[in-house]
Amino acid sequence: MTSAMLYSGLGLDRAHPIRRGGDIAEQMRRPGARFTLYWRGRQLVGGTPPAIRWLDRTYGLRLAEATGGTCLLLGEDPSGPLLALDISALGGGEQGPEMGGNWVMLRSVGGLLPTQDAALLAYARGMLVWRERTRFCATCGAGLLIEDSGHSAKCSDETCGALHFPRTDPAIIMLVTDGRDRALLGRQPIWAPGMYSCLAGFVEPGESLEDAVAREVWEEAGIRVREARYFASQPWPFPSSIMIGFNAVAEDGEPVPDPHEIEEVRWFSRDEVGAFGEADRPGEGGRFLPRKDSIARALVEAWLRG
């Protein structure tokens, strides 16, 4: 099954039987092993148009030994295992250490990459950020022992022994429309002036996804939702979310923004939204839509197409 959402639809064999109980050092030394690199939030690409810059086993092992960096198994293809290696311990100027490619923030190039490369780098980023931020047991505070070729951790205190797994925070995002063929869009004060997007928020404990849609729209805009239909989902490892998109139908009413989170929220007609531009060339009134790599943009464009 494939998905049109950027960062999703990864066709890689994640090699679950191999990684379960596996030793990452053994995987790193297998014939055909290749490494994708991560350095201080950036990932290594090369070429025009850009694609993942893979390093072979010899170079990857040398870097792993020199940096002591986190390494984990992503999966395998017919040529061998694919691994992600964090070399953030290496020094480097503004451009990063010289590795025969360019160090980029994934969001800056995601839409330019082959779809499978974008999905794989999102997967690698999400896992490495989890490893970077999860070093101690949340139950007792002891250090963690990494297991399953980098995909789980166990408390080093045998009296605790708590297990820890990669974290993904579910967030809902919805395009709300009304009976007058208008869309509800808003903006947060921290966004670039002129950008409007769909309302969104994190799912809270004890909520269904549909409950979260209704609550967030009420909290952020003072509008009641009477129907919510699933649209699509998108991995969003910035740092550790999955965006779950909905089309929602609202009752009549004029929106009132939550002053703590929302600077402005209002109804827009289809013609008004169609006149929005891009960040580098805003449309009427200086307004523009979210980036094309986002599910927010996909929701809006699907509505515009009718």
Domain ranges of the chain: 16-133, 169-305
Architecture of the domain spanning 169-305: Alpha-Beta Complex (3.90)
Cα torsion angle, 43, 44, 45, 51, sign: negative
For residues 75, 80, 85, 90, the Cα torsion angle rounded to the nearest 10 degrees is -170
Q: How many CB atoms are closer than 10 A to CB 54?
A: 17
Over the stretch 118-167, which tens digit does the pLDDT of each residue have?
999 999 999 999 999 999 999 999 999 999 999 999 999 999 999 999 99
Residue found under tokens 């009549």: 252
Q: Which long-range contacts link 273-282 to residues 24+ away (Cβ below 8 Å)?
A: 273/183, 273/185, 273/300, 273/303, 273/304, 274/304, 276/196, 279/192, 279/195, 282/194
Q: How do the pLDDT tens digits run along the chain, 306 residues long?
A: 446 799 999 999 999 999 998 899 999 999 999 999 999 999 999 999 999 999 999 999 999 999 999 999 999 999 999 999 999 999 988 889 999 999 999 999 999 999 999 999 999 999 999 999 999 999 999 999 999 999 999 999 999 999 999 999 999 999 999 999 999 999 999 999 999 999 999 999 999 999 999 999 999 999 999 999 999 999 999 999 999 999 999 998 999 999 999 999 999 999 999 999 999 999 999 999 999 999 999 999 999 998
CATH code, 16-133: 3.90.79
Write the Ramachandran bin of 299: left for phi over 0, alpha for psi from -120 to 50, otherwise beta.
Answer: alpha
Q: For 135-139, which contacts have Cβ atoms below 8 Å and span 24 or more sequence positions?
A: 137/162, 137/164, 138/162, 138/164
Q: Is 74 helix (H, G, I), strand (E, B) or coil?
A: strand
The pTM assigned to this predicted structure is 0.94
Side chain identity, residue 16: H
Peptide bond before residue 239 is cis, with ω within 30 degrees of 0: yes
Tokens 């792993």 identify what position? 64
CA distance 142 to 86: 23
pLDDT tens, residue by residue, 28-54: 999 999 999 999 999 999 999 999 999
- Same fold: 16-133 with 169-305: yes
